[in-house]
Amino acid sequence: MRYATSIADLVGNTPLVRLNSVTEGIAATVLAKVEYFNPGSSAKDRIARNIIDAAERDGHLQPGGTIVEPTSGNTGVGLALIAQQRGYRMIFVVPDKFAGEKVAVLKAYGAEVVMTATSVPPEHPDSYYSVSDRLAASIPGAFKPNQFANLNGPRGHYETTGPEIWRDTDGKVTHFVAGVGTGGTISGTGRFLKEATDGEITVVGADPEGSIYSGGEIHGYLVEGVGEDFMPATFDPTVVDRYERVSDAEAFTMTRRLAREEGLLVGGSSGMAVVAALRVARDLPADAVMVVLLPDHGRGYLSKIYNDDWMTDHGFSIATESETTGSLA
């Protein structure tokens, strides 16, 4: 009989699939690493598992302990499912602007959710940072993963994502492209691949217009999970060889094309990463092998990126593939 003894054992070993349609006119092989095959539907399952494993090893988490983290997104789902399997209590602190489906998902996994005011600055005692710090300090046996500072996050990618790409490309990978949020994905995966190739691989950071990583003006943007307005400890900028700066409009158009043309229902940061990938791939020879990481599933974006009214209300085009190919090729 072949079976996993827990859903937590099914994190990682996500497949590579070749992109065939959006790559028209490109000679290089462009492979997507589809992270929605993780049990929590995102790459964040990897860091959740590694952070919890390390906390158990280091004695920060004891049987019956509590995990407290300010997050409403993919990290929350990853932590919730691992915590549940290991018997920990899970409390998420979430700004009230995230009410709705995301919170419902966390509760469905059995997590407790504490809502805080979105409209207060981080240093305010009612902010989600302050409330999560207070809970972590006051609950006996509480542990705060702190995904923006915990180096066991990037280490999870160094130990799993990087080796998987190396193995599945038979060591032929020449380019790796990923978005940068906490920087854990690109830092851990990029460092492994740099070591494996003796520095021969090119690592490309995809960054939203408005984020600090790629330079230029800092302003708001709508693509979720990537870009920052500060430099997290989990990001090692020395692994990135070049950045590609991507607008919301480009990212969302490509996200919709990935669903319609490649059968990949993914989130907006995946579209962003593919825009960056294709810009670089356009100039590469036929023997180049590029891997672009697609962080999460598109089901969480049905009322936004995949909703025509939301797109047009926000000034984005909903033109179909044939109308957009020209501008993206």
Q: Are 228 and 211 in contact (CB under 8 A)?
A: yes
Burial category of 222 from C-beta neighbours within 10 Å (exposed 0-12, middle 13-18, buried 19 and up): middle
Please state, in angstroms and as integers, the Cα–Cα distance from residue 63 to each residue in 7, 56, 83, 270, following that order. 19, 9, 11, 37
C-alpha pair distances (Å), 291 with each of 24, 29, 68, 70: 16, 9, 34, 31
Q: Does 258 bind ligand PMP (CB under 6 A)?
A: no
Task: Decide: 115 and 94 in contact? Cβ < 8 Å.
Answer: yes
Terminal-to-terminal C-alpha distance of the chain: 48
Q: Which of 39, 40, 145, 184 binds ligand PMP (CB under 6 A)?
A: 184
* Binding-site string for ligand PMP from residue 203 to residue 242, where x marks contact by CB under 6 A and - marks none: ---------------------xxx----------------
Residues 57, 64: Cα–Cα separation, whole Å:
15
For ligand PMP, the closer of residues 65 and 181 by Cβ is 181
Interface region with ligand PMP, contact rule CB under 6 A, candidates 6-14, 81-89, 121-129, 183-191:
183-191
Pick 65 or 271: Cβ nearer ligand PMP: 271
Site string for ligand PMP, 64-103 (x = CB under 6 A): ---------xx-----------------------------
150 binding ligand PMP? (CB under 6 A): no
* Residue labelled with tokens 């969302």: 252
Decide whether 145 or 225 has the Cβ nearer to ligand PMP: 225
User: Binding of ligand PMP at residue 39 (CB under 6 A)?
Assistant: no
From candidates 296, 298, 301, 305, binder to ligand PMP by CB under 6 A: 296
What string of H, E and C letters represents the secondary structure of 73-89?
CHHHHHHHHHHHHHCCE
Please tell me whether residue 135 binds ligand PMP under the rule CB under 6 A: no
Provide the minimum distance between the beta carbon of 93 and ligand PMP in the complex, in angstroms, as a whole number.
16
Q: Which of 12, 95, 267, 298 forms a contact with ligand PMP (CB under 6 A)?
A: 267
Note if 44 is an active site residue: yes
Burial (CB < 10 A; 0-12, 13-18, 19+), residue 99, is middle
**Quick check: 162 and 196 in contact, CB under 8 A?**
yes
Interface residue list for ligand PMP (CB under 6 A): 44, 73-74, 179-185, 224-226, 267, 269, 295-296
